[in-house]
């Protein structure tokens, strides 16, 4: 597809809800419908006393724009999983929600420990429940889904090593990558270098949350020490011209999540988001939703937010096709996905070359 020759489309007429999309940075932990959270909270004595609005304030964005406060939502969310059916339901519904906004390809990331720890489930069992439920929902709703397993920076090495082992064991069920997440201000990445080097050698895709609340130095560490193919957020890269050049040279994409960056307080407002600067520097970027149910947004909403930052429909279409190139799919599967998306986009914009 040639962005330069694409016809002009009035932004206000574009039904982005129906537009085909690719999502590469979505946490299952942050994709829990409030109604489902309420259902399972009532079955946990530690949460059952909460009124609905109190629970909502504890697990959804409550107006406080602070990075550590935002991450605190997940300490409450992990208490929901008192039965295997809760884990399966959340996985199934996350894929259903993706289908509702026409996400054609989804890389859904999760930490088995998040879903296992409260009830003492085995992490391998949890991974199998999630993979089974999500794959079944993907089949039913026509969404292509792959999975990334997440290691949090505060995990001990034994837990992190076990998660990598699970990722390698379940590769035939769609696990394609490994993710490092959590508070980069408090926990260094260095203890996990060995695991991520091994994961890359084994052929897994590597993505690392870095340069979100931290600095460009964390992004350098992610690409030089952990071998990241993609960077979760990475917006502080805009502060370092040499880093921008290196990301462009190595074709390492940034998984940019506009609303999340505002809600965590790492950017003051949407208008001040560095996305336009990143694009001007020709760094590969993919638009993502991060934790859609915590943030109370969708990937579709992020497309409209990008319009507010000056991106055109053509630019958004280009980012969608660029996202295909940065999936953790094999080359032949990328080719097929690219062709399907190009054909669908061409049907939405008459005259667009495919």
Cα(20)–Cα(124) distance, rounded to whole angstroms? 33
| DSSP assignments along 44-58, one per residue | STTTTT--HHHHHHH
Question: Do 111 and 149 touch, CB atoms closer than 8 A?
Answer: yes
Q: For 12, phi and psi rounded to 5 degrees?
A: -70, -15
Q: Is the CB of residue 303 less than 8 Å from the CB of residue 316?
A: yes
By CB atoms closer than 10 A (0-12, 13-18, 19+), residue 243 is buried
Contact 179, 208 (CB under 8 A): yes
Write down the catalytic residue from 93, 101, 184, 212: 212
Bridge partner residues of 22 (DSSP): 105
**The two three-digit tokens of residue 92, written as one number:** 């199934």
- DSSP state, residue 8: P
From CA 252, how far away is CA 226, in angstroms rounded? 13
Is residue 323 within 8 Å of 230, Cβ to Cβ? Answer: no
212 flagged as catalytic = yes
| Alpha-helix runs per DSSP H in the chain | 34-41, 52-59, 67-71, 73-77, 84-100, 112-116, 123-141, 157-169, 193-201, 216-224, 241-250, 258-263, 275-280, 292-295, 299-308, 313-325, 331-348
How far CA 140 is from CA of 11, 38, 336, in Å, comes to 32, 25, 20
Angle at 340 between CA 284 and CA 134, to 5 degrees: 80
Task: Please state, in angstroms and rounded to a whole number, the distance separating the CA atoms of residues 256 and 274.
Answer: 10
**175: buried, middle or exposed (CB in 10 Å: 19+, 13-18, 0-12)?**
buried
What residues are annotated to the active site?
212
């Amino acid at each position: 597809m040639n962005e330069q020759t694409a016809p002009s489309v009035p932004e206000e007429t574009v039904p982005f809800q129906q537009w085909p999309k690719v999502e590469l940075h979505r946490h299952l932990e942050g994709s829990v419908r409030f109604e489902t959270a309420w259902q399972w909270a009532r079955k946990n004595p530690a949460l059952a006393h909460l009124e609905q609005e109190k629970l909502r304030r504890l697990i959804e964005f409550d107006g406080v724009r602070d990075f550590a406060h935002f991450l605190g939502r997940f300490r409450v969310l992990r208490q929901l999983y008192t039965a295997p059916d809760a884990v399966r339901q959340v996985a199934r519904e996350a894929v259903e929600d993706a289908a509702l906004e026409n996400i054609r390809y989804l890389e859904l990331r999760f930490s088995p420990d998040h879903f296992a720890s409260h009830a003492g489930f085995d992490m391998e069992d949890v991974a199998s429940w999630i993979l089974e439920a999500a794959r079944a929902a993907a089949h039913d709703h026509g969404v292509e889904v792959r999975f990334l397993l997440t290691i949090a920076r505060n995990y001990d090495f034994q837990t992190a090593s076990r998660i990598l082992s699970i990722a390698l064991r379940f590769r035939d069920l769609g696990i394609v990558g490994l993710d490092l997440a959590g508070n980069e201000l408090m926990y260094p990445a260095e203890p996990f270098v060995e695991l991520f080097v091994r994961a890359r050698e084994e052929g897994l895709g590597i993505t690392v949350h870095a340069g979100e609340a931290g600095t460009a130095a964390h992004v350098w560490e992610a690409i030089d020490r952990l071998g990241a193919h993609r960077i979760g957020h990475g917006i502080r890269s805009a502060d370092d011209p040499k880093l921008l050049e290196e990301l462009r040279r190595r074709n390492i994409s940034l998984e940019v999540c506009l609303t999340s960056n505002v809600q965590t307080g790492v950017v003051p407002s949407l208008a001040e988001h560095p996305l336009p600067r990143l694009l001007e520097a020709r760094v590969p970027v993919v638009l993502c939703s991060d934790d859609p149910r915590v943030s109370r947004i969708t990937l579709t909403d992020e497309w409209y937010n990008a319009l507010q930052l000056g991106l055109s429909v053509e630019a958004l279409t280009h980012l969608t096709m660029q996202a295909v190139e940065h999936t953790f799919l094999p080359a032949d599967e990328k080719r097929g996905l690219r062709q399907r998306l190009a054909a669908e986009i061409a049907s939405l914009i008459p005259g667009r070359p495919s």
